[in-house]
Amino acid sequence: MFQNAGTLSKERRTQLVAFQKKANIRFRSLELLNLSFTHRSCGNEDPSRCQNNERLEFLGDAVLGLICASCLYELLGERSEGELARVKSYVVSEEVLSELAAGLALDEQLLLGKGEEQSGGRAKKAILADATEALIGAYYLDSGFEAAFRFVRGLIEPEIAKVLQNRHHKDYKTMLQEYAQKYHKSYPLYRLVKRSGPDHDRTFWVSCEVAGANYGPHEGKNKKEAEQSAAKSAYEGIVAAGGLEAARMLQVENL
């Protein structure tokens, strides 16, 4: 299925070997490792590179989910299924996976088409998170489940610890929605106020309304980021206005 690593240039082989040392992994097939970094945009401009990392991403997502669930089951034996699910949803999120990719300098290994490169694809969280899953899938195929388990466990245990110590990135949209549903029988309302900048470098401004109170607008490089920023503003505003009681209401059942 995969070509011999000799088809890779000497420079690329050197890059991949250096990456393995940094990530503390060892592939039998450098071609498979290289494929895990190959974004679909490459095929748009070079039909000879029709293979990309999407199938590996699909596999890696499943492998990551299983390993994460196994670690949580072992580490958090006293926690309920709901609590395990909450921690897992954070650990396998795009936000965390993209941060793990940055820690591995995975962005330097990505193979992108010219258009994606020019639009800042090397720094896009979705592309980085997908490549992290593809790398996990590739390592599972190349070296087996035990090797993949050791690699993934080393990546995610610090993230699990962050959640348990309440040092993790908060999903303010989810927390705010749970608060609004539970205490106001409503949902937060997000409005796109404006957008600015060229297509490849847009800035979005979003406001948030909760129970008749407006917060924002706040900016982000995409609507999702802007909504998260507006939700954070609303969350913090409600806590500030309601004191400790509101804080407890907002944080209930959130790790």
Domain boundaries, the chain: 5-164, 172-251
Superfamily for the 5-164 domain: Ribonuclease III domain (1.10.1520.10)
Question: Using one digit for the tens of pLDDT, what is the confidence trace for 100-156?
Answer: 999 999 999 999 998 899 888 899 989 999 999 999 999 999 999 999 999 999 999
pLDDT confidence band for 69 (50 / 70 / 90)? very high
Do 5-164 and 172-251 have matching folds?
A: no
Q: What is the mean pLDDT of residues 62-87?
A: 90
Query: Is the Cβ–Cβ distance between 136 and 63 less than 8 Å?
Result: yes
Choosing from 31, 57, 61, 227, which is the catalytic residue? 61
Predicted local confidence at residue 170, as pLDDT:
66
Active site residue 117: no
Choosing from 31, 57, 130, 133, which is the catalytic residue? 133
CATH of 172-251, one of 3.60.15.10, 3.30.160.20, 3.40.50.300, 3.30.70.3280: 3.30.160.20
Q: What is the mean pLDDT of residues 40-65?
A: 86
Active site residue 133: yes
